[in-house]
Amino acid sequence: MPGRRRALETLRATDIDRTLDQASILVLPVGATEQHGPHLPFNTDTVIADAVAQATVDEVGAEVGAWTLPTLAITKSNEHAWAAGTFWLSARTLLAVVEDIGRCVAATPARRLVFLNGHGGNSALLNVACRELRLAHGLQTFLAHASVPPDHGGPSPAEELGMGIHGGLDETSLMLHLQPDLVDLDAGFRNVPEPLAAAEHVRFGGDVSFGWLSNDFGPSGHIGDPTGATAERGKLLFEAAVRSFGEALTEVARFDFGRPPSS
C-alpha cells in the first residue's frame, strides 16, 4: 500500500515476532479534530502528523526499525470546545487511552514508542504519558512534533510576532501542500494578538504561560496570519519536518540512558 509500507496494522499476527524486536520503534502519530478558523479543515493537525510520520518512516524506517501505528484523530482539544465540529477527549480520558496503547506496545517485542504530535494542546499530557509508560512498562518513550509550535519555543514567521500558533502562515502553507482541496485561502485573514508580543514574560513562548481558549482572541478561532500562505512554502516546511523527524528517529534508535544518543 503506497505510503503505508511500514504500517503495523498491515502486518499479520504471524509477522509480529519475526518483524519486531527490542530495537524496533513504533511511531504513534497524534492529531486532532478541531476548528482551525474559517479557512482550514477540522482535520488539519491529523493530516500533518499522519503525513510527516508516514513519509519519514517510509524513508528511514528500514534503517532504524520503525513502524507506524494508526493515527489518533480525536485528542485533547478542549481549548476549541466552544466550536461545533470540534471533537475532544478530556485530559483524563486521553491519558487513559495513551496508557492503554502503551500497554499494547509492551505486549509486542518493541521497546521504543515515539509520539509524533501534530497538536500543541496535547504536548503537556503526552510528556506525562511518556513518564507513566516508562514507569509502568519499562518502555523507552519519546515525544516529537511534526513542527514545534511557537508557544513551545518553535520558530515563527516575523510577521506573526511569535503569535502564529493556530491556523497561521506555516500551518496553512503545509495544508496547501498536503491537501489543497480542503483549504479556502480566500476566507483567511490576519488575526494576531499583537498586544501579547509586547509582553516580556506573559506571552506565547514566554517564560510565564497562561490558560487560554482559542476564542479568547476573537470569534474566528484562528491565531496567526494565513494570508501569505503558499503551497511552495508548505512543501519546504514539509520536507524540513520529514528530514528533522528522520534525524530524530536515528537518534531514538541509538538512545541509551548510559550514553549520549549520538554516540
The CATH class given to the 8-254 domain equals: alpha beta
Tens place of pLDDT for every residue, the chain, 263 residues? 344 579 999 999 999 999 999 999 999 999 999 999 999 999 999 999 999 999 999 999 999 999 999 999 999 999 999 999 999 999 999 999 999 999 999 999 999 999 999 999 999 999 999 999 999 999 999 999 998 888 887 888 889 998 999 999 999 999 999 999 999 999 999 999 999 988 999 999 889 999 999 999 999 999 999 999 999 999 999 999 999 999 999 999 999 987 665 54
**What nine digits make up the cell of 175?**
495544508
Q: For the chain, which residues make up each domain, given as ranges?
A: 8-254
Q: Is 98 exposed, middle or buried (0-12, 13-18, 19+ CB in 10 A)?
A: buried
- Please tell me the pTM assigned to this model: 0.94
Task: Characterize the bridge pairing of strands 140-145 and 25-30.
Answer: unpaired
Helix (H) or strand (E) holding 178: helix 169-178
